Amino acid sequence: MRTFPRLLVLALVLFPATAAFADEDLARRIEASREAIKSFAGALQGQLMSAMVDGGPAAAIEACNIAAPGIAATASDAQGWRIRRTSLKLRNPDNAPDAWELSVLREFKARKAAGEDPATLDHAAFVVSEGKRTFRYMKIIGTQPVCILCHGTAIAPEVAARLDALYPDDRARGFKVGDIRGAFSIIQTSPPP
Ligand code: HEC
């Protein structure tokens, strides 16, 4: 009988410390995710721009593919993370959101509609997935002027023809500058660095 209150006291003493560690771990992972996405997005856009300069948008179509050699591997292997892109309006069905991503994409849409600045919209959480504590992070991808060449309303006929052939179920058109195009998503199952 006497041990119970002692355990309780111990738990009460330890709990705030554990919570503080968890907060610190979360903050560190969020910071690292923002950095990884910044370099990842920069590399992706650099590759897109140089492909467009070389051959125009029709020739650059593959450059918006995250599987483009090098980019995804560099960003993901660095910290043993999986990094991907997803959207509520997909071009490639392989990029379909899972249940967690879907709820965050909907939340982003609502937060933007409520007036939040899309440039800073992100969301992080620890979730339990298949019995493992997993860190998950998402950050919005906005639509810039260059993106509408392939994701806008007035897509050049030769670009549209190529997209039709490659992506028969393409829903990633009709975007305007400033719209939410989708989001980067990071999944990390490894222990804290
Ligand atoms: C030259 C044409 C082209 C341009 C320009 C372009 N994209 Fe794409 N985008 C594509 C193609 C093709 C895919 C499908 C890639 C794949 O198969 O995974 C795609 C896929 C995506 C996806 C993944 C989700 C999905 O719908 O499958 C996102 C997010 C995305 N693009 C964002 C952007 C943004 C943001 C820009 C501007 C910075 C941009 N794209 C510019 C052609 C383009």
Contact in structure between 124 and 135 (CB atoms under 8 Å):
yes
pLDDT for 1 equals: 46
Higher pLDDT, 1 or 139: 139
Average pLDDT, the chain: 84
Predicted TM-score (pTM) of this structure = 0.86
92 pLDDT above the threshold of 80:
yes
Task: Name the residue at shortest CA distance from atom 15 of ligand 1.
Answer: 65
In a domain, 30, yes or no: yes
CA gap 59, 136 in Å, rounded: 34
In the chain, the N- to C-terminal Cα span, in Å, equals: 41
In a domain, 193, yes or no: no
- Closest by CA to 29, choosing from 169, 134, 159, 173, is 134
Q: What is the pLDDT of residues 23-34, one digit of tens each?
A: 788 999 999 889
In a domain, 113, yes or no: yes
Instruction: Compute the distance from residue 123 Cα to the ligand 1 centre, in Å.
Output: 22
Q: What is the pLDDT of residues 121-137, one digit of tens each?
A: 999 999 987 888 889 99
- Is 136's C-beta closer than 6 angstroms to any atom of ligand 1? no
Task: Name the residue at shortest CA distance from atom 37 of ligand 1.
Answer: 147
Q: What is the pLDDT of residues 139-192, one digit of tens each?
A: 999 999 999 999 999 999 999 999 999 999 999 999 999 999 999 999 887 655
Contact in structure between 144 and 177 (CB atoms under 8 Å):
yes
- Is 97's C-beta closer than 6 angstroms to any atom of ligand 1? no
Domain range holding 83? 3-188
**Number of domains forming the structure of the chain:** 1
Q: What is the dihedral of CA 111, 116, 122, 127, to 10 degrees?
A: -40
Instruction: Compute the distance from residue 126 Cα to the ligand 1 centre, in Å.
Output: 28
Task: Name the residue at shortest CA distance from atom 16 of ligand 1.
Answer: 65
In a domain, 172, yes or no: yes
Task: Name the residue at shortest CA distance from atom 39 of ligand 1.
Answer: 147
Instruction: Compute the distance from residue 149 Cα to the ligand 1 centre, in Å.
Output: 10
